[in-house]
Amino acid sequence: MENRPLKILVTGGAGFIGSALVRRLIQESPHSVLNLDKLTYAGTLTSLEPVSRSRRYSFVQGDICDAALLADLFPRFDPDVVCHLAAESHVDRSIDGPGAFIQTNVVGTFTMLQAALKHWRELSADRQESFRFHHISTDEVYGSLGDEGLFTETTPYDPRSPYSASKAGSDHLVSAWHHTYGLPTLITNCSNNYGPYHFPEKLIPLVIIKALDGAPLPVYGQGLNVRDWLFVEDHARALQTVFEKGVPGETYNVGGNAERRNIEVVQAICALLDEVRPRHDGRSYAEQITYVADRPGHDMRYAIDATKLKNELGWEPKESFETGIRRTVTWYLENEAWWRGIAQRSYAGQRLGLAG
C-alpha cells in the first residue's frame, strides 16, 4: 500500500498534530489530502501555509457532526484512507465545558464512522480490502500510572477527565464498527505531543511565550506530574506508518521514550532560553517559575510502551527530549508572528480548568 498515491481525508488538519501530518504527507509522500476542519479556536490555517498551494492539498471548512456535509464529501473526494484527528483536545477546557467534548469527540466520531461505512460498502472489493479508517486517540484513556509501569495496548481503559472519557467513548465506537460491520479500522493512542505550531494554551508553548514576555511561568501543583513527550513530527511519521502498514482492527501505542516531570520540562526550557536568548538583566528565566493550584483530578503519570509499533511496523522516535525541545524553542523564537497572531485572535494565556 505504501508506494501507491492515496487519497486521504484528514479531519482536524488545521490543528497541531493534524497540520504536522498534512505537511508531512504533502511534502514527503505522493498522497493527496482533503483537510476537513471546523476551524474552532484551535484550528489555524497559517500552520498549513507551507503546503496550501500544492495541487495535492484541498481544504473544506465544516463540522464532523454534519452528516449531510459528509454524505456530500465522501463520494466527491472518494478517500482510500480517513485519518480522524478532529477533536476537542484540551483537558482544562473539558473541565470548564464538557458538552463540546461529547458532541465533537463522541457524536462527531459516530457521524464519521457512519459516513465512512456507507462509503466503504460502495467500494470495489479491492478498494474495500485496502481502505482504512484511522482514529487518532490518546494514552489518557488508560488513566493514571504510579511510579512504575507503562501503558500497553492491553491496559484496561480507566479515563478520569471529561476529555479522556470522551476519547475513550470514541475509541470504543471505532472498535465496535470494526467488529460489528467489518470496517477496516486502526486506532493509535499516543502520549503528549510537542513541537512547532503547538497552540499556546499547552504547557510547552505557554512557558516559552510567557518566559519571553517576562511573565510568571505557571507550574501546576508541585510540578511532579510525569508525561512521556513525543515530538510531533515523529508522531506524524508514526501515523503514516500505521495507516500504510498497520493491521485492520489493531491498536498501536505511540510514545517518545521521553518521560519528564513537568518541572523538569519547564527548567529545560528556561535553560535553553538562558543560552540562546538571555534575559536583559542577566538573571535566569527559572526565576519566573510560579507554583499554582493543581488541575482538579490531575493524573500523576502517563508513560507509553511503544514496543508493538517498533517490532511490528518498524517505527521508532528519532528525537530525544533534548533534541526535540531545542528544535521547539528555536522554532518559537523564529516564528513569533505565528503565535503572536493566535494570542491576539483567540487566546491570551489565561488560566483554564479550575472547575469553578
Residue positions annotated with a catalytic role = 139-140, 163
If one counts every other C-beta atom within 10 angstroms of the C-beta of residue 64, the result is 25
> What is the distance between the alpha carbons of residues 230 and 333, in angstroms, rounded to a whole number?
20
Q: Give every CB contact of residue 109 below 8 A, 6+ residues apart in sequence.
A: 64, 84, 135, 170, 173, 174
CA 230 to mean position of chain CA atoms: 10
- Residue 352: name the closest of 6, 64, 88 by CA: 88
Binding status of residue 77 toward ligand NAD by CB under 6 A: no
> Dihedral sign, CA of 86, 353, 322, 147?
negative
Q: Which is nearer to ligand NAD, 155 or 288 (CB)?
A: 155
Q: Give every CB contact of residue 120 below 8 A, 6+ residues apart in sequence.
A: 128, 131, 133, 183, 184
Cβ–Cβ under 8 Å, residues 1 and 71: no
Binding status of residue 63 toward ligand NAD by CB under 6 A: yes
Binding status of residue 346 toward ligand NAD by CB under 6 A: no
> What is the distance between the alpha carbons of residues 198 and 188, in angstroms, rounded to a whole number?
20
The only residue of 9, 15, 74, 319 in contact with ligand NAD, by rule CB under 6 A: 15
Binding status of residue 34 toward ligand NAD by CB under 6 A: no
Q: What cell numbers appear for 30 in the block?
A: 505522493
If one counts every other C-beta atom within 10 angstroms of the C-beta of residue 14, the result is 27
Given the rule CB under 6 A, which of 11-19, 146-154, 241-249, 294-302 is the region that contacts ligand NAD? 11-19
Cβ–Cβ under 8 Å, residues 18 and 12: yes
For 349, phi then psi, to 5°, come to: 85, 10
Binding status of residue 243 toward ligand NAD by CB under 6 A: no
Q: Which is nearer to ligand NAD, 32 or 111 (CB)?
A: 111
Binding status of residue 39 toward ligand NAD by CB under 6 A: yes
CA 335 to mean position of chain CA atoms: 20
Q: What cell numbers appear for 6 in the block?
A: 492515496
The only residue of 8, 9, 17, 165 in contact with ligand NAD, by rule CB under 6 A: 17
Task: Quote the least distance from Cβ 188 to ligand NAD, whole Å.
Answer: 8
Task: Quote the least distance from Cβ 150 to ligand NAD, whole Å.
Answer: 16
Q: Which is nearer to ligand NAD, 31 or 135 (CB)?
A: 135
Q: Which is nearer to ligand NAD, 54 or 346 (CB)?
A: 346
Q: What cell numbers appear for 271 in the block?
A: 535553560
- Indicate the residue whose CB is closest to ligand NAD: 15
The only residue of 26, 48, 51, 86 in contact with ligand NAD, by rule CB under 6 A: 86
Residue 102 per-residue DSSP state: I
Binding status of residue 12 toward ligand NAD by CB under 6 A: yes
- Give the pairing type, strands 81-84 and 226-228: unpaired
As a whole number of Å, the CA-based R_g of the chain is 20
Binding status of residue 260 toward ligand NAD by CB under 6 A: no
Q: Which is nearer to ligand NAD, 81 or 87 (CB)?
A: 87
Binding status of residue 162 toward ligand NAD by CB under 6 A: no
Given the rule CB under 6 A, which of 15-23, 112-120, 141-149, 312-320 is the region that contacts ligand NAD? 15-23
Given the rule CB under 6 A, which of 71-79, 85-93, 323-331, 333-341 is the region that contacts ligand NAD? 85-93
The only residue of 119, 132, 134, 167 in contact with ligand NAD, by rule CB under 6 A: 167
Residues at the interface with ligand NAD (CB under 6 A): 11-12, 14-18, 37-40, 42-43, 63-65, 85-89, 104, 108, 136-138, 167, 190, 192-193, 199
